[in-house]
Amino acid sequence: MRPSLVKAVLGKRAAGVLFAAAACVAALIVPAQSADAATVTTGPVFNRPTGTTAEQQAIRAQVRSVIANADSGSILRLAMYHLWDDTIAADLVAAKDRGVSVRIVLDHSTLDYPSSYDTLKAALGTSTSASSFVALCASGSSCLGPAGTGINHNKYLLASSVGDGAQKNVVVQLTSNLTPSNYSRYWNSSLTVAGNSDLYDGYVGYFTRLPAQDRSSWSYTYGNAGDYKYYFFPRAGSDASTDTVVNALDNITCRWLDTAGAHRTTVHAAMLKITRQAVADKLRALAGEGCLVDLVYSETDAGTWSALHGVSGITNRCYQQDDDADASTPRRIVHSKNWMIDGMYAGTVQKVMWTGSHNWSGPALRNNDEAMLRVTTPSVYSAFEANFQAVRAAAVPGTSDDVAVCKSDEVD
């Protein structure tokens, strides 16, 4: 079920607070950012919901800087589940006005809060054959999955040229939607990569498929691009043999010996949803083989929760913090979809990680439009591991996760 505006933006509230939700978004409206007000930085950016306003909005600021620095004559492409940020909508319109082609694909449920979409529609139009447009996937469907199922859950921004040509082929892969709660309540990450034409072209090819909504010709796509590998969903199949995450986890060797002695592979994940039984079962099996598995999550279900408990080698921390012990008010969660392996992977001792929009859920694999990115750059791994430790330290109720709220499946 799709979350309502009440649930997705502000947590569990009564419908009467829709006016408060609108005010929350309106409070974010500031003048469009100028190109000389920010520079585009490459590498990871993380928000910190427990920090200052600037720390909460760090990912938002990065997105705005890419848009502001997009060169005239270049192309911006944005695929996003929810865009409920009138300032970013204004930034995108300003980019179009200075000669940037702005192309946007959103999930239909972004209309739960229509203000930003209405701004974009008026300025860009909806004709996908035009140089600029805003398009919606069909109501109740992803753009490429089986009709009547899934959502466009993508969260990425592409820029062909920024900073007077200083950076080309820019990919910004987010775990965050562009909404107030994603900035101030949800732990999220982004990763900006510039100058990798193979990666950029892979993302552009996927983006181009979204507005066409030609489901019959779509098939799961992946490709290598240096330190990166991209995966674009949905993926057809019915069992673990066609589960991309399980396939990756199959490459792990949990214990190995070398001249320095005995070693064990670690698996760390900061993941909103762990509701895909095949993934939970694989993690349990890896723990049984000697891997050390450490998870911070916000949502499981009865089957996956059970699989991840009662076995040595797995530590679970639920992050479903209700700030004031009032279940009707907003709560903090981990919204990231980041996982890291440190040890023997694919026959080599290495550190490798994944990020993107892809939760460990069934719809993320079979129904939704999603992007997942594998990274082997050591500095990127280190930054994501540090962020994992920060989320881990903040998680509430933490290891006391045998409670109903940690076993529910509510947020997209």
Residue 226 lies in a domain: no
In the chain, how many domains are there? 2
Question: What pLDDT sits at residue 353?
Answer: 98
Question: What pLDDT sits at residue 408?
Answer: 85
Q: Are residues 255 and 322 in the same domain?
A: yes
Q: Are residues 199 and 237 in the same domain?
A: no
Residue 247 lies in a domain: yes
Q: Which residues of the chain have pLDDT under 50?
A: 1-30, 35-38
Residue 252 lies in a domain: yes
Q: Are residues 86 and 148 in the same domain?
A: yes
Q: Are residues 338 and 244 in the same domain?
A: yes
Residue 360 lies in a domain: yes
Q: Are residues 267 and 207 in the same domain?
A: no
Q: Are residues 205 and 282 in the same domain?
A: no
Q: What is the pLDDT of residues 287-314, one digit of tens each?
A: 999 999 999 999 999 999 999 999 999 9
Residue 173 lies in a domain: yes
Q: Are residues 297 and 205 in the same domain?
A: no
Question: What pLDDT sits at residue 410?
Answer: 67
Query: What is the pTM for the complete model shown?
Result: 0.92
Q: Are residues 196 and 241 in the same domain?
A: no
Q: Are residues 275 and 211 in the same domain?
A: no
Q: What CATH number should be reported for the domain holding residue 166?
A: 3.30.870.10
Mark which of 216, 250, 272 sits at the end of a domain: 216
Question: What pLDDT sits at residue 322?
Answer: 87
Q: Are residues 339 and 382 in the same domain?
A: yes
Residue 133 lies in a domain: yes
Mark which of 160, 183, 216 sits at the end of a domain: 216
Q: Are residues 201 and 239 in the same domain?
A: no
Question: What pLDDT sits at residue 14?
Answer: 35
Q: Are residues 304 and 362 in the same domain?
A: yes
Residue 224 lies in a domain: no
3-state secondary structure the chain: CCCCHHHHHHCCCCHHHHHHHHHHHHCCCCCCCCHHHCCCCCEEEECCCCCCHHHHCHHHHHHHHHHHHECCCCEEEEEECCECCHHHHHHHHHHHHCCCEEEEEECHHHHHCCHHHHHHHHHHCCCCCCCCEEEECCCCCCCCCCCCCCCECCEEEEEEEECCCCEEEEEEEECCCECHHHHHCEECEEEEECCCHHHHHHHHHHHHHHHHCCHHHCCCEEEEECCEEEEEECCCCCCHHHCHHHHHHCCEECEEEECCEEEECEEEEEEEEECCHHHHHHHHHHHHCCCEEEEEEEEECHHHHHHCCCCCCEEEEEEEEECCCCCCCCEEEECCEEEEEEEEECCEEEEEEEEECCCECHHHHHCCEEEEEEECCHHHHHHHHHHHHHHHHHCCEECCCCCHHHHCCCCC
What is the domain range of residue 116? 5-216
Residue 35 lies in a domain: yes
